[in-house]
Structure 1
């Protein structure tokens, strides 16, 4: 992966760490389950068409520590995502593709 994001901080906060990553078109991001599972990755269809958002999302829940998801980003843009179970707690992140 060109960037790795922890799902849940080492201190146990319901956040993606780092909350924003910047990559180049064609690169991939890996999300690794860290703390306070379950977590998933759902891309919002704001600024991204619904098909792209669905293709990048991983709606299945990760329960085990170290379980991971990867997505490859082919188009430049800003992609906002969230964890469905913890969205209300502010577990939101962003991928910026140059």
Structure 2
């Protein structure tokens, strides 16, 4: 006796996606403990350079401590350790004519993964610090070429 195999009536009925990409992303994000919204914001954010607020070891420092970028590039500061940190540019340690208040982030980044981005255009050196941890040596420098 011969078996006969029949193809489905239409390809559309034979091949259906199990779940949408959005649903798959939601499942992955929920397993990872992050919301789809924060995942999307993280993926959408563009930075030319990243500075960690707190070392992987837990030390109170910016990593890297000194960073060199080109004019017009964006620096993304990421809270790495979960301590409250901020980014305050020292008005006496930035190029003349740059408004330190406009580029600083006085509010604290409290949770790991929280970010602050700043685009720097004026060439020169930018000294900055974390206000609550400056005494512990949490200071950094960005050199804009």
TM-score range, shorter chain: over 0.9
User: Where does the alignment leave 5 or more consecutive residues of structure 2 unmatched?
Assistant: 1-46
Question: What's the counterpart of residue 67 of structure 2?
Answer: 21
More strand by share: 1
Q: Which has the larger radius of gyration?
A: 2
What do you get for the CA RMSD once the two structures are aligned? 1.3
> What is the CA deviation profile of residues 38-71 of structure 1, one whole-angstrom value per residue up to 9, with x for unaligned ones?
0000000124358521111000001111000001
Task: Calculate the TM-score normalised by the size of structure 1.
Answer: 0.94
More helix by share: 2
User: Where does the alignment leave 5 or more consecutive residues of structure 1 unmatched?
Assistant: none
Task: Calculate the TM-score normalised by the size of structure 2.
Answer: 0.65
Structure 1 stretches of at least 4 aligned residues deviating more than 6 Å after TM superposition? none
Q: Does 1:59 align with 2:106?
A: yes
Higher relative contact order (CA 8 A, sep 6+): 1
Aligned residue pair count:
98
